Amino acid sequence: MRIMKSRPGETMAAFAARAHLHATGTAVALYFPPQGELQETAEAMQRAFPDSLTLGVATVRLFDLGALESGTTLLFLFAQDDADVRADAMLLENISKAPIGYVLEMRRRVEALHPIETNVACLEFCTNNEEMLVTTLTAMLALLHVPLFGGTAFHTDSLTKAPSDVHFCVAWQGRLYEDACIALILKNMRGRILLYREMFYEVRPGTPMHLATKVDPEHRLLIELDDRPAAEVYSEETGIPVEKIVSHVAEQPFGRTLGEEVFVISMRSLAPGGAIIMSKAVNLNDALYIMNVGDYEQIWRETCARICRELPERQLTFAVECYHRYMFYETHGLTETLPRDRSALLGPTYGIVSGGEQIRGQHMNQTGLFLVFEGKGGGAHEVD
């Protein structure tokens, strides 16, 4: 696996020309340009790699070897006979209605890589309908012991628009697609692929549990908690005025319980009648807590310690981090120090900022996900 980055001030045409030097033998090219540049990048990469599968999604910020960058395009190249990581890719369309229509094709592509438990993973980036998508794909992938990992397309313009006016895209073979998902099936030729989930929030002792008693999952509306307007319940418990609760999301998001686990759900905006538009669908009778910030310094260091303990030799870590988590970094002065210190502990670390996160069968928000590739005897490297 080869990794390339655009240079400061370099045009996409110039970057694509440099990338074209590596076109021979490349089976899959995966790219992450800055928001607003996906169309140009998709067309340029398709020209640079006409005989390869090219796919990508835009990102607000890029995690690059310990730095948070903007204005840089990140490119991963996977060779047909790659000694580090081999890949196949596919496009899923119409995911709001029928992602199940792609299950057999994905299974065929996974089986063609001859997975051994823990050495294959599916990396996906989608535009919408995450809950149905991850549930459908995970049901099949779990039979092959292949985990699902990924993120939701995002751009900051969406924060000021009504949900119905927001249209995200992914890129495939030089074109942009809405209501779609790009999926990359990865096989580590140097060992295992392990997945990790990290959140900076906790449910403190004595925190009351609330039941979602009135919801509209299709429009991601949380209307009532415990038969009362959801915004009113949140305001009363936190002391934050109703009109300011959405701006407080990075400090006290909702958490949905599933067994002994808790998954974060972000508030997106307020709706009439004390309802809250969420970034993930809430279902009737879901058990929710209002969470608080934990000891994030200790949390991320414990994550790194666990990764280093379970995978002493690593060739690459790929991160998908929520936009609200990135804003948490900014608010708490972590944008320079945390990515740098984490990369110093883990080794080469790259990643993107997403609008939502998916791991195995769950979709969530305000979470950091890490896809870690073991690197026995070598590994991925940057090329110029």
Listing DSSP states for 3-45 in one string gives EEEPPTT--HHHHHHHHHTT-TTEEEEEEEPBTT-HHHHHHHH
**How far is it, in rounded angstroms, from Cα 368 to Cα 320?**
6
Cβ–Cβ < 8 Å for 370, 195: yes
pLDDT, position 319: 95
Question: Across the strands, what pairs with 126?
Answer: 152, 181
> What is the pTM for the complete model shown?
0.95
> With 0-12 CB in 10 A as exposed, 13-18 as middle and 19+ as buried, what is 295?
exposed
pLDDT, position 65: 64
Region of residue 36 (phi > 0: left; psi between -120 and 50: alpha; otherwise: beta): left
Half-sphere exposure of 128 (CA within 13 A, CB side): 21
> With 0-12 CB in 10 A as exposed, 13-18 as middle and 19+ as buried, what is 40?
middle
Cβ-Cβ contacts under 8 Å for 337 (sequence gap 6 or more) = none
Cβ–Cβ < 8 Å for 255, 362: no
Cβ–Cβ < 8 Å for 253, 366: yes
**Reduced to 3 states, what is the DSSP secondary structure of residue 240?**
coil
pLDDT, position 279: 93
> With 0-12 CB in 10 A as exposed, 13-18 as middle and 19+ as buried, what is 321?
buried
**Reduced to 3 states, what is the DSSP secondary structure of residue 324?**
helix
Token code pair at residue 3: 């990794």
Phi, psi of 131 (to 5 degrees): -60, -50
pLDDT, position 101: 94
**How far is it, in rounded angstroms, from Cα 273 to Cα 280?**
19
DSSP 46: H
* Residue showing tokens 């890029």: 62
Cβ–Cβ < 8 Å for 79, 26: yes
Token code pair at residue 32: 């992450």
Question: pLDDT per position in the chain (384 positions), as tens?
Answer: 999 999 988 999 999 999 999 888 999 999 999 999 999 999 999 999 999 999 999 998 887 766 667 788 999 999 988 989 999 999 999 999 989 999 999 999 999 999 988 999 999 999 999 999 999 999 999 999 999 999 999 988 777 777 677 789 999 999 999 999 999 999 999 999 999 999 999 999 999 999 999 999 999 999 999 999 999 999 999 999 999 999 999 999 999 999 889 999 999 999 999 999 999 999 999 999 999 999 999 999 999 999 999 999 999 999 999 999 989 998 999 988 888 899 999 999 999 999 999 999 999 999 999 999 999 877 777 887
pLDDT, position 211: 98
Type of residue at 152: T
**How far is it, in rounded angstroms, from Cα 137 to Cα 152?**
15
pLDDT, position 169: 96
